Amino acid sequence: MLSNLGWEVTVRLKVVGSGDAPDFSISVLFGIGSKRYDMLFGSGSSGAPIVMLASSFVGDGKEPIAGSTYSLSDGANEYHEYRLVYNPGDSGADLFVDGVERISNYTGSDTVQYSGASAMFFGAFGADGSGSANYNFVGLNVPEPGTGTMLLIGAGWMLGRRGHRSRLPTR
């Protein structure tokens, strides 16, 4: 159902330190059905933040080996907002950093981990990796069904109730 509506994962954080490649020590993961979408964070030698959208992993799914990355040119030790927005029409997600689209059509990675369910995690995962961050906000937004959908649901309910009118007793 979420895949049909679209969704948005937002995280606002500050990466602390420098020279730390993106890994699961600073991460936000959203899994839905047979797909998972991972935002992994790190920093360059100057401390400027790096975000990686992981697309493949070593066996256990805890060590990323490939993905698209975006490095901020500055902004070390500052809070930044990262939004991963899934559009069902495109079947991919776009990454916005501080309101500007930086990576397009991220398709996530295949997994059997959630098999029809949805889950969201943030923090540190996996045995390897290092890094530190201050999280200010992590959220998931799923839009409400459109007005047309709600009208159809309401009309169906009204038609179903039509045969169940209560009648006042007559004298």
pTM for the complete prediction? 0.79
Beta bridge partners of 32: 35, 118
Position 28 scores a pLDDT of: 94
| Cα–Cα nearest to 41, from 51, 28, 29 | 51
Place of tokens 């933040």: 49
Q: Model confidence over 70-116: pLDDT tens digits?
A: 999 989 999 999 999 998 888 899 999 999 999 999 999 887 666 66
Decide: 125 and 63 in contact? Cβ < 8 Å. Answer: no
Domains of the chain and any CATH numbers:
2-143 (2.60.120.200)
Task: Locate 6 and state its tokens.
Answer: 């679209």
Beta bridge partners of 56: 66
What confidence tier does 46 reach under pLDDT thresholds 50, 70, 90?
very high
Position 62 scores a pLDDT of: 60
Position 138 scores a pLDDT of: 96
